[in-house]
Amino acid sequence: MDATAATSPWRHLPNALTVLRMVLVVPLAWMIRDARYDEAVIVAAIAGLTDALDGFLAKRCGWRSWLGGVLDPIADKLMLVACFVTLGMVGAHPDWLTWLVVGRDAVIVAGAVAWHGLIGRIQAQPTRLSKLTTVVQIVYVLAQLLHLSHWFDLPAAALDGLIYLTAALTVASGLQYVVVWSGRALRARRVQA
C-alpha cells in the first residue's frame, strides 16, 4: 500500500463491503428457507456486487490488506455454504452436493487452522482452479435462485449440468488444495526444523 492509499479515509471501504457481505448471509439464508426466492435473488445480487466492488477498490486504489485477504474468502465461503445448505434444505438440489461443498470448505478451513498452528500466519493464495470453482458455485446458486424465483425458469437439464459441473470442480479443487498445501507444509516444517 503506497503512502497516499495508506492515509486515505476510504482505505477501509473494501473490508467494510466484505463485512456487509458477511452480514447478508443470515437474511439470505432465511429468505431461501422461507421460499422468498425473488427477494433472495436481490440479496444475492447485492452480495455479488459488494464482492466485485471490494475487489475492484482494493486493487484499483491500492487498499489491500492482510485482513482483507483473509476476510474476503471467508465471506465467500460463508455465503456459499449458507446458500448450499439452505438450498439443500428446501430440496433444490441433492443432499450429496451440499455435503460435497461443505466438506471441501471444512477441509480447507481445517488445513488453514493447522497451518496457522504448526507453521505460522497463512497467506491466502487461491489457485486458478479454486477461483473457477468459486465462480461456478456462484453461478449455480444464482441459477438455482433464479429458477426458484418467479423471474426465470431454467430447463432441468441446464440445472443438472450445473450440479455435476459444480460437483466435479469442487472435488478437483479440494484435492488440489490437499496435495498442494500438504507439500508446502512438509517443506515449511523441514525449513523450520
- Rounded distance between C-alpha atoms, residue 48 and residue 175, angstroms: 26
Q: Which residues contact 94 (CB under 8 A, 6 or more apart)?
A: 88, 163
Percent of the chain whose pLDDT exceeds 90? 45
Which three-class secondary structure string do you get for 116-134? HHHCCCCCCCCCHHHHHHH
Coil vs helix vs strand at 10: coil
Per the prediction, the chain carries an average pLDDT of: 85
pLDDT at 98: 97
Any idea which of 37-51, 64-78, 135-149, 170-184 has the lowest mean pLDDT?
64-78
* Greater model confidence, 80 or 126: 80
pTM of the model: 0.83
Q: What is the pLDDT of residue 112?
A: 78
Triad 167, 139, 42: Cα angle to 5°: 135
Q: Domain with 161 in it: what CATH number?
A: 1.20.120.1760
- In this structure, are residues 143 and 37 in contact, taking their beta carbons and an 8 Å threshold? no
Residue of 44, 2, 5, 134 lying closest to 124 (CA atoms): 134
State mean pLDDT over 163-174. 96
Task: Residue 73: give the domain boundaries.
Answer: 3-192
pLDDT-based confidence at 60, cuts 50/70/90? confident
Sign for the CA dihedral angle at 26, 31, 37, 41 comes to negative
Q: How many domains does the chain have?
A: 1
